[in-house]
Amino acid sequence: MSASTIIFYILAAITLGGAILAVTSPKIFRSAIYLLFSLIGIAGLYFWMNFEFIAAVQVVVYVGGIVVLIIFSIFLTQGSGSDMKDPVKIRSLFAGLAALCGYCLTYYVIQRTEFHPQLEQGSAEISVSRIGEQMLSTTEHGYLLPFEVVSMLLLSAMIGCIVIAIKTRSIK
Protein backbone atom coordinates (compact mmCIF):
# COMPACT_ATOMS: atom_id res chain seq x y z
CA MET A 1 0.00 0.00 0.00
CA SER A 2 1.45 3.35 -1.04
CA ALA A 3 1.74 6.44 1.15
CA SER A 4 -0.84 8.22 -1.01
CA THR A 5 -3.39 5.48 -0.31
CA ILE A 6 -2.69 5.58 3.42
CA ILE A 7 -3.14 9.37 3.45
CA PHE A 8 -6.45 9.00 1.60
CA TYR A 9 -7.74 6.45 4.12
CA ILE A 10 -6.70 8.63 7.05
CA LEU A 11 -8.46 11.69 5.57
CA ALA A 12 -11.55 9.62 4.74
CA ALA A 13 -11.63 8.26 8.31
CA ILE A 14 -11.38 11.79 9.75
CA THR A 15 -14.17 13.00 7.45
CA LEU A 16 -16.54 10.10 8.03
CA GLY A 17 -15.75 9.81 11.74
CA GLY A 18 -16.40 13.52 12.27
CA ALA A 19 -19.65 13.35 10.29
CA ILE A 20 -20.96 10.34 12.20
CA LEU A 21 -20.02 11.85 15.57
CA ALA A 22 -21.59 15.20 14.55
CA VAL A 23 -25.00 13.63 14.02
CA THR A 24 -24.89 11.20 16.95
CA SER A 25 -23.46 13.37 19.73
CA PRO A 26 -25.95 14.32 22.46
CA LYS A 27 -24.16 17.63 23.18
CA ILE A 28 -24.81 20.38 20.62
CA PHE A 29 -21.44 22.10 21.09
CA ARG A 30 -19.58 18.82 20.59
CA SER A 31 -21.61 18.23 17.42
CA ALA A 32 -20.36 21.56 16.06
CA ILE A 33 -16.75 20.61 16.89
CA TYR A 34 -17.15 17.21 15.19
CA LEU A 35 -18.56 19.01 12.14
CA LEU A 36 -15.40 21.12 12.17
CA PHE A 37 -13.25 17.96 11.98
CA SER A 38 -15.37 16.58 9.15
CA LEU A 39 -14.98 19.78 7.12
CA ILE A 40 -11.23 19.84 7.77
CA GLY A 41 -11.07 16.26 6.48
CA ILE A 42 -12.82 17.35 3.29
CA ALA A 43 -10.32 20.19 2.87
CA GLY A 44 -7.55 17.65 3.37
CA LEU A 45 -9.02 15.53 0.57
CA TYR A 46 -8.98 18.58 -1.70
CA PHE A 47 -5.32 19.17 -0.83
CA TRP A 48 -4.62 15.48 -1.48
CA MET A 49 -6.15 15.82 -4.97
CA ASN A 50 -3.97 18.93 -5.62
CA PHE A 51 -6.90 21.36 -5.71
CA GLU A 52 -5.26 23.87 -3.39
CA PHE A 53 -7.58 26.76 -4.21
CA ILE A 54 -10.74 24.75 -3.51
CA ALA A 55 -9.16 23.43 -0.30
CA ALA A 56 -8.34 26.97 0.82
CA VAL A 57 -11.90 28.08 0.06
CA GLN A 58 -13.18 25.09 2.06
CA VAL A 59 -11.08 26.09 5.06
CA VAL A 60 -11.89 29.81 4.86
CA VAL A 61 -15.61 29.62 4.06
CA TYR A 62 -16.81 26.48 5.79
CA VAL A 63 -14.33 25.89 8.61
CA GLY A 64 -13.63 29.56 9.28
CA GLY A 65 -17.05 30.98 8.53
CA ILE A 66 -19.92 28.54 8.81
CA VAL A 67 -18.65 26.55 11.82
CA VAL A 68 -17.75 29.74 13.69
CA LEU A 69 -21.23 31.08 12.90
CA ILE A 70 -22.79 27.87 14.25
CA ILE A 71 -20.67 28.00 17.41
CA PHE A 72 -21.54 31.68 18.00
CA SER A 73 -25.23 30.96 17.59
CA ILE A 74 -24.95 28.09 20.09
CA PHE A 75 -23.27 30.37 22.62
CA LEU A 76 -25.70 33.23 21.99
CA THR A 77 -28.69 31.02 22.69
CA GLN A 78 -27.19 29.72 25.96
CA GLY A 79 -27.47 26.12 24.77
CA SER A 80 -23.80 25.16 24.69
CA GLY A 81 -23.79 22.83 27.68
CA SER A 82 -27.25 21.36 27.38
CA ASP A 83 -28.14 18.03 25.89
CA MET A 84 -30.14 17.90 22.71
CA LYS A 85 -33.62 16.44 22.89
CA ASP A 86 -33.92 12.76 22.14
CA PRO A 87 -35.36 12.30 18.67
CA VAL A 88 -38.74 10.73 18.31
CA LYS A 89 -38.37 7.07 17.34
CA ILE A 90 -40.62 7.35 14.29
CA ARG A 91 -38.59 10.32 13.03
CA SER A 92 -35.37 8.35 13.47
CA LEU A 93 -36.87 5.46 11.53
CA PHE A 94 -38.05 7.81 8.77
CA ALA A 95 -34.65 9.52 8.62
CA GLY A 96 -32.92 6.15 8.33
CA LEU A 97 -35.27 5.06 5.54
CA ALA A 98 -34.74 8.37 3.71
CA ALA A 99 -30.96 7.96 3.96
CA LEU A 100 -31.22 4.38 2.67
CA CYS A 101 -33.40 5.48 -0.26
CA GLY A 102 -30.94 8.28 -1.07
CA TYR A 103 -28.06 5.82 -1.01
CA CYS A 104 -29.91 3.36 -3.27
CA LEU A 105 -30.81 6.14 -5.73
CA THR A 106 -27.21 7.40 -5.83
CA TYR A 107 -25.88 3.87 -6.33
CA TYR A 108 -28.38 3.27 -9.15
CA VAL A 109 -27.44 6.50 -10.94
CA ILE A 110 -23.71 5.77 -10.64
CA GLN A 111 -24.17 2.26 -11.99
CA ARG A 112 -26.23 3.45 -14.97
CA THR A 113 -23.87 6.29 -15.92
CA GLU A 114 -21.00 5.75 -18.33
CA PHE A 115 -17.92 7.63 -17.24
CA HIS A 116 -15.38 8.51 -19.92
CA PRO A 117 -11.84 9.47 -18.99
CA GLN A 118 -10.93 13.00 -19.97
CA LEU A 119 -8.20 13.18 -22.56
CA GLU A 120 -5.13 15.23 -21.72
CA GLN A 121 -5.35 17.24 -24.95
CA GLY A 122 -8.94 18.36 -24.35
CA SER A 123 -8.61 19.23 -20.69
CA ALA A 124 -8.95 22.87 -19.74
CA GLU A 125 -6.27 24.61 -17.76
CA ILE A 126 -7.44 25.33 -14.23
CA SER A 127 -5.88 28.31 -12.51
CA VAL A 128 -6.88 30.63 -9.70
CA SER A 129 -7.22 33.58 -12.06
CA ARG A 130 -9.51 31.60 -14.38
CA ILE A 131 -11.66 30.49 -11.44
CA GLY A 132 -11.88 34.11 -10.24
CA GLU A 133 -12.88 35.38 -13.68
CA GLN A 134 -15.58 32.69 -13.92
CA MET A 135 -16.88 33.46 -10.41
CA LEU A 136 -17.31 37.16 -11.17
CA SER A 137 -18.50 36.79 -14.74
CA THR A 138 -21.98 37.93 -15.71
CA THR A 139 -22.02 35.90 -18.92
CA GLU A 140 -24.07 32.77 -19.52
CA HIS A 141 -21.69 30.49 -17.61
CA GLY A 142 -20.78 32.99 -14.90
CA TYR A 143 -21.35 32.48 -11.20
CA LEU A 144 -21.94 36.03 -9.99
CA LEU A 145 -25.63 35.52 -9.22
CA PRO A 146 -25.18 32.29 -7.17
CA PHE A 147 -22.25 33.96 -5.39
CA GLU A 148 -24.48 36.86 -4.35
CA VAL A 149 -27.34 34.52 -3.37
CA VAL A 150 -25.01 32.62 -1.03
CA SER A 151 -23.80 35.88 0.52
CA MET A 152 -27.43 36.92 1.14
CA LEU A 153 -28.11 33.51 2.71
CA LEU A 154 -25.17 33.96 5.08
CA LEU A 155 -26.34 37.47 5.95
CA SER A 156 -29.85 36.22 6.75
CA ALA A 157 -28.35 33.41 8.87
CA MET A 158 -26.38 35.98 10.90
CA ILE A 159 -29.48 38.14 11.34
CA GLY A 160 -31.41 35.04 12.43
CA CYS A 161 -28.73 34.26 15.03
CA ILE A 162 -28.98 37.79 16.40
CA VAL A 163 -32.79 37.63 16.57
CA ILE A 164 -32.68 34.28 18.37
CA ALA A 165 -30.07 35.56 20.81
CA ILE A 166 -31.99 38.66 21.85
CA LYS A 167 -33.62 38.12 25.20
CA THR A 168 -37.04 39.58 25.81
CA ARG A 169 -37.49 41.31 29.13
CA SER A 170 -40.22 39.91 31.27
CA ILE A 171 -42.46 42.58 32.78
CA LYS A 172 -43.22 42.01 36.46
Domain that holds residue 151: 126-172
For the chain, how many structural domains are there in total?
3
Cα gap 28→30, rounded to integer Å: 5
Question: Which letter, b or e, does each residue of 148-172 get, where b requires 16 or more Cβ atoms within 10 Å of its Cβ?
Answer: eeeeeeeeeeeeebeeeeeeeeeee
95 and 155 part of one domain: no
91 and 73 part of one domain: no
pTM above threshold 0.75: no
Per-residue pLDDT of the chain (172 residues; tens, 9 = 90+): 899 999 999 999 999 999 999 888 888 788 889 999 999 999 999 999 988 888 888 888 888 888 887 777 777 766 555 666 666 677 778 888 998 999 999 999 989 988 777 656 555 667 778 777 877 888 877 777 777 887 888 788 778 767 766 655 555 5
Domain assignment of residue 64, yes or no: yes
99 and 148 part of one domain: no
Domain assignment of residue 119, yes or no: no
Domain assignment of residue 99, yes or no: yes
> Which of the listed residues 59, 82, 105 is the one where a domain comes to its end?
82
Domain assignment of residue 120, yes or no: no
